[in-house]
Amino acid sequence: MKRFRVRFVCALAIVFLLGVQQPSEAGIPSTNNLVYEVFVRSFADGDNDPNKIGDLKGVISKLDYLNDGNPKTSDDLEIGILWLMPIFPTRSYHGYDVSDFRDINPDYGTLDDFKTLVKEAHKRGIRIVLDLPLNHTSSAHPWFKEALKDETSPFRSFYQIRPDASDVPGDWRRITSPSGVKLRYFALFDEGMPDLDYKNQAVWKEAMEIAKFWLDLGVDGFRLDAAKHIFGDRFTGLQEGEILKNNDFWLAFSQFTYKINADAIQSCSARLVLSAVDDGI
């Protein structure tokens, strides 16, 4: 008889399930999996704005430092994967509360700047990975605003929203709708980051379409933030059923992604694995 054991695998650094690297004639792996993480805001300012905020033009200006594409030189880092922390429109400095998954933070530039970055990176053999926080949106996202404004809106079911009650746990945040109705919404990380409700298949579809949007622009994969929280309302102690639901979603997401790009990179900050253990019973 088999039973299931829950295994938690938490990554302190980005982890990729990639092929074994084979040395080239020059001694450099033919598939370069060396990862460099960039927080764009603090990396390099390319447009000389008064506040000296880092931007995509700044990243482009440093590509030769990261990898000049010439294996014979020795003054670059020879990275193969550039991991960009969230670059989407946001109200925060860190960017994990996204208000538009299909655009660029105006502090960082434009979609055209991003297309140039991808093109120039690929010339040098650098793959681009986006940090994609699909567990939640910003409370400033149009979906959430519409959900609060109109209880008949299809976006109401994109989130976990219910009438206010005194006995609701702390992660159910209080808010007053534009019409004056007192409501609660679930937001595990912060009141400004309401969780999406993945029991709704329309949310699954949106997540897939967001991935497709960026893959079609040439992105090589994603770092998937808060992967274990797609289902479940606790930071720890998830139930077996919640873990299985998380696995089901990410399996579907991976299969969808690989149909678009069979070589896509996907990683997560924490993985939950259910393994069958044969006890011989």
CATH of the domain at 182: 3.90.400.10
Residue 107 has pLDDT above 70, yes or no: yes
User: How much is the pLDDT for 2?
Assistant: 39
Structure confidence at residue 269 as a pLDDT band (50, 70, 90): low
Q: Is residue 191 part of a domain?
A: no
Q: What is the mean pLDDT of the chain?
A: 86
Please spell the DSSP secondary structure of 85-151, one letter per residue: PP-S-BSSSS--SBS-TTS--TTT--HHHHHHHHHHHHHTT-EEEEEE-TTB--TTSHHHHHHHH-T
Residue 193 has pLDDT above 80, yes or no: yes
The mean-pLDDT minimum among 147-161, 169-183, 248-262 falls in: 169-183
Residue 175 has pLDDT above 90, yes or no: yes
CATH of the domain at 232: 3.20.20.80
Same domain for 89 and 168, yes or no, is no
Mean pLDDT across 170-194: 93
Same domain for 171 and 264, yes or no, is no
> Are residues 41 and 93 in contact, defined by beta-carbon separation less than 8 angstroms?
yes
Top pLDDT among 108 and 232 is at 108
> Dihedral angle at the C-alpha atoms of 194, 195, 197, 201, nearest 10 degrees?
100
Q: Is residue 86 part of a domain?
A: yes
Same domain for 120 and 209, yes or no, is yes
Structure confidence at residue 61 as a pLDDT band (50, 70, 90): very high
Residue 133 has pLDDT above 50, yes or no: yes
What is the C-alpha radius of gyration for the chain, rounded to an integer number of angstroms? 21
Residues spanned by the domain of 241: 2-135+196-278
SS3 3: strand
> Dihedral angle at the C-alpha atoms of 6, 10, 16, 19, nearest 10 degrees?
-50
This prediction's pTM: 0.86
Same domain for 171 and 201, yes or no, is no
Question: Greatest CA separation found in the chain?
Answer: 69
Q: Which two tokens stand for residue 4?
A: 């299931």
Q: CA 47, CA 192: separation in Å to the nearest integer?
A: 30
Residue 280 has pLDDT above 90, yes or no: no
Same domain for 65 and 11, yes or no, is yes
Q: CA 222, CA 220: separation in Å to the nearest integer?
A: 7
Same domain for 92 and 201, yes or no, is yes
Structure confidence at residue 235 as a pLDDT band (50, 70, 90): confident
Q: Is residue 53 part of a domain?
A: yes
Same domain for 85 and 182, yes or no, is no
Same domain for 42 and 152, yes or no, is no
**81-84 β-sheet, strand order:** 35-38, 81-84, 127-132, 221-224, 265-268
> Are residues 32 and 79 in contact, defined by beta-carbon separation less than 8 angstroms?
yes
Same domain for 103 and 64, yes or no, is yes
Residue 136 has pLDDT above 60, yes or no: yes
Token pair 């606790």 in the structure block, residue: 234
Same domain for 204 and 220, yes or no, is yes
Residue 68 has pLDDT above 60, yes or no: yes
Instruction: Give pLDDT tens digits for 246-267.
Output: 999 999 999 999 999 999 998 8
Instruction: Give pLDDT tens digits for 6-58.
Output: 333 333 333 344 433 433 333 444 579 999 999 999 999 998 888 899 999 99
Counting the structural domains of the chain, the total is 2
